[in-house]
Amino acid sequence: GDGQNLFTKDVTVIEGEVATISCQVNKSDDSVIQLLNPNRQTIYFRDFRPLKDSRFQLLNFSSSELKVSLTNVSISDEGRYFCQLYTDPPQESYTTITVLVPPRNLMIDIQKDTAVEGEEIEVNCTAMASKPATTIRWFKGNKELKGKSEVEEWSDMYTVTSQLMLKVHKEDDGVPVICQVEHPAVPGNLQTQRYLEVQYKPQVHIQMTYPLQGLTREGDALELTCEAIGKPQPVMVTWVRVDDEMPQHAVLSGPNLFINNLNKTDNGTYRCEASNIVGKAHSDYMLYVYDSRAGEEGAIRAVDHAVIGGVVAVVVFAMLCLLIILGRYFARHKGLFSLTSSPRIK
């Protein structure tokens, strides 16, 4: 403040809450203290309130302090409030009341309710009538994105609009886009969100359900299942044989392809196709029919290799044992051999 002994502090308050103004004296000489509003109308003179605004209430009055509360604060209450001390010469100090106004409304708007994968869409978020201006942050799920904000001021209030340009992918379907507002008058974070709805072409996968071992031999049966997932979900899938006609003994049943009594003329590439309003996709299965004894011969060869390996291991083990026995035998009779081989001295 400007006074030598009179001082006060600035006040920041949220709209609708209570502001407390305190005029304090360091060295009191029982001089009169009064409080004035920004229009220099007297709110309190000592403990008397000339102003008819009942929102002002006396909290404390003494020779060293005049404390007043202002309830239900509004934006019109902002400004300088003056503390005066009737000394010689008079002293004056002022406090500034700053009113914070949280956003009146938070709205998020998506350009298209339903988007197609690969498409770029515009998302806007507006925080209306706040003071000071809000800060808007964007999130897609847990990932923060960068938007572009514009601030419009009207009668000391601020409206902030943030624009986000977002390229969507099939993985974004069902993921929330979150507009989060940070403002000193809002405890924590205020947010609103919209869930993305993304359409995408089918994803196709072929599953062999029979034979279980995966080896297709002459005379066996083959069963393939086509799995197609998309948005919207494909209503039907079709099977074709690439570069040839489908075998006469093949049976098509929805997503399933059955071929009984396989033979080598069935060799080729079989394709499952699926489509929706976004696009089409396919997956291929290459069929090769082996001889009827292909699996048995492979098993026989595996057994033969195992037997040969076992025999070789036994022979090697036997030779090692023989070498050990001979080594010990020669070690024991080494001295005897030395005596019998030395010439006699006459």
Query: pLDDT means per 10 residues in the chain (346 residues)?
Result: 75 98 91 96 96 96 96 97 92 96 94 95 97 97 96 94 97 97 92 96 96 90 97 94 95 95 96 96 96 61 58 73 74 52 40
148 shares a domain with 116 = yes
Do residues 119 and 178 both lie within one domain? Answer: yes
Domain-ending residue, one of 248, 263, 287: 287
In this prediction, residue 73 carries a pLDDT of 98
Tell me if 256 is assigned to some domain: yes
User: pTM for the whole thing?
Assistant: 0.72
| Whether 158 and 242 share a structural domain | no
Q: Are residue 81 and residue 28 in the same domain, yes or no?
A: yes
Round to whole Å and give the CA distance between 87 and 65.
15
pLDDT at position 96 is 98
User: 19 and 89, same structural domain?
Assistant: yes
Q: Which residues of 222-233 are buried (b: 16+ CB within 10 A; e: fewer)?
A: bbbbbebebbee
pLDDT value for 318: 74
Of 271, 287, 303, the residue that ends a domain is: 287
Residue where one domain finishes, among candidates 42, 72, 100: 100
| pLDDT at res. 256 | 96
pLDDT reported for residue 296: 54
Looking at the domain assignment, is residue 319 inside a domain?
Answer: no
Residue 337 forms part of a structural domain: no
Residue 71 lies in a domain: yes
Q: Residue 325 falls within a domain, yes or no?
A: no
**Closest to 200 measured CA to CA, from 140, 280, 286, 258:** 280
Asked whether residue 321 is assigned to any structural domain, the reply reads: no
Q: Could you tell me if residue 225 is inside a domain?
A: yes
CATH number at residue 126: 2.60.40.10
Q: Quote the domain boundaries for residue 142.
A: 105-199
Residues 81 and 152 in one domain: no
Tell me, what's the pLDDT at 334?
A: 58
Rounded distance, CA 35 to CA 25, Å? 13
Residues 94 and 154 in one domain: no
When divided into structural domains, the chain yields a total of 3
Residues 47 and 96 in one domain: yes
Residues 131 and 144 in one domain: yes
CA distance 252 to 229: 19
- Regarding whether 205 and 175 lie in a shared domain, the answer is no
Question: Is the domain of 14 the same as that of 92?
Answer: yes
Please check whether residue 311 lies inside any domain of the structure. no
